[in-house]
Amino acid sequence: MTHPTHAQSPRPTTRRTVLRGTAATAALATAGLAATGPAHATDVHPKTDSGNSSSGSDGPRIGILLYDGYSLLDPTGPAEVLSRVPGASVTMLAERRGPIRTDTGDVAVLADRSLDEAGRLDVLLVPGAGNRGLIAAMQNRPLLDWIRETNRRTRFTTSVCTGSLILAAAGLLDGRRATTYWASAPYMEKTFDVTYVPERYVKSGKFITSAGVSAGLDMSLYLAARLTDDDTAKAIQLAVEYDPRPPFDAGNAQEASDDLKARALKILEDSQV
């Protein structure tokens, strides 16, 4: 097919209308698109190479911890939402800078700063992982030390999925209510002094834990509201068009059959490297 592309002769209005609904155009007329500028090379370097990646803005500094074997959506769902918080900076952190690969081995996200370079964080988010990555993280004493030390100055310390087990291993959830991946709940309660609450996210003091993987989206919208206000969080929800309608209703472990749970865990295990 050698169909000519429409993009060869874009209408003069293209640059100003692609992302704008007509209803919103008037309200945005003064904002202009000049701030976004022409396309330029930002494919390698973060906003800045030193200091705060929010280019001097005074919004919350959000650090997301990456470690080998995390589950991809755990850090990236919240990063999508939280990067829309006005003035916020979101920085991917790991023990060493560089690409950190997921539990399936399929994808790597770049850690832009090492833990030593993280600086003070307003929000720390610890994602979950498959067994291999999770066990390694829970046994990584320097990592747990860094989490404890960083937690001293955060406004919120948060987790997605089995990330709460890492917070628990760091001793931060003792005596608290928390959530985790559904299949890890018995382990959490057996191993730590933590009361499992089967909600999408659970706040206990400044700690906010999320249920499995996708629950980080719900948690991060809640967190966005805490960092700003409900109206801003609602605008962020609309900005990412988060009006979920999955084709099935099978995501709740409390309603799932034993067979479906066994299939889900087998699928997870088989997908991991």
Contact in structure between 75 and 64 (CB atoms under 8 Å): yes
Q: Which amino acid is at 194?
A: V
Per annotation, catalytic residue among 85, 126, 144, 161: 161
Contact in structure between 15 and 32 (CB atoms under 8 Å): no
Cβ neighbours of residue 110 under 8 Å, at least 6 residues apart?
A: 92, 97, 98, 99, 100
Among 12, 37, 50, 175, binds a copy of itself (CB under 8 A): 37
Please give the Cα distance from 23 to 220 (Å, whole number). Answer: 28
In the complex, what is the shortest distance from the CB of residue 133 to a copy of itself, in angstroms, rounded to a whole number?
7
Q: Please give the distance of CA 199 from its chain centroid, rounded to a whole number.
A: 18
Contact in structure between 167 and 138 (CB atoms under 8 Å): no
In the complex, what is the shortest distance from the CB of residue 116 to a copy of itself, in angstroms, rounded to a whole number?
17
Expressed in angstroms, the distance from the first to the final Cα of the chain is 39
DSSP for 203-260 reads EETTEEEE-STTHHHHHHHHHHHHHS-HHHHHHHHHHTT-----SS----GGGS-HHH
Among 33, 51, 56, 58, binds a copy of itself (CB under 8 A): 33
117 binds a copy of itself (CB under 8 A): no
Give the nearer residue to a copy of itself in terms of CB position, either 68 or 122.
68
Among 52, 195, 204, 271, binds a copy of itself (CB under 8 A): 271
In the complex, what is the shortest distance from the CB of residue 15 to a copy of itself, in angstroms, rounded to a whole number?
6
Bridge pairing between strands 156-159 and 207-210: parallel
Give the nearer residue to a copy of itself in terms of CB position, either 33 or 116.
33
Q: Which amino acid is at 117?
A: E
Structure tokens at 130: 């498959």
Among 93, 202, 227, 236, binds a copy of itself (CB under 8 A): 236
Give the nearer residue to a copy of itself in terms of CB position, either 97 or 155.
97
Give me the 54-73 binding string for a copy of itself, x by CB under 8 A, dash otherwise.
--------------xx-xxx
In the complex, what is the shortest distance from the CB of residue 70 to a copy of itself, in angstroms, rounded to a whole number?
11
Among 51, 56, 99, 205, binds a copy of itself (CB under 8 A): 99
Please list every residue from 73 through 92 that binds a copy of itself, using CB under 8 A. 73, 76-77, 79-80, 83-84, 86, 89-92
User: For a copy of itself, how many residues bind (rule: CB under 8 A)?
Assistant: 148
Helices (H), 88-244: 131-138, 141-151, 163-169, 185-191, 215-227, 230-239
Please give the Cα distance from 39 to 15 (Å, whole number). Answer: 12
In the residue annotation, 161 being an active-site residue is answered as yes
Please list every residue from 138 through 197 that binds a copy of itself, using CB under 8 A. 138-141, 144, 148, 152, 161-162, 165, 168-172, 174, 181-187, 191-192
In the complex, what is the shortest distance from the CB of residue 12 to a copy of itself, in angstroms, rounded to a whole number?
12
Residues with catalytic roles = 161
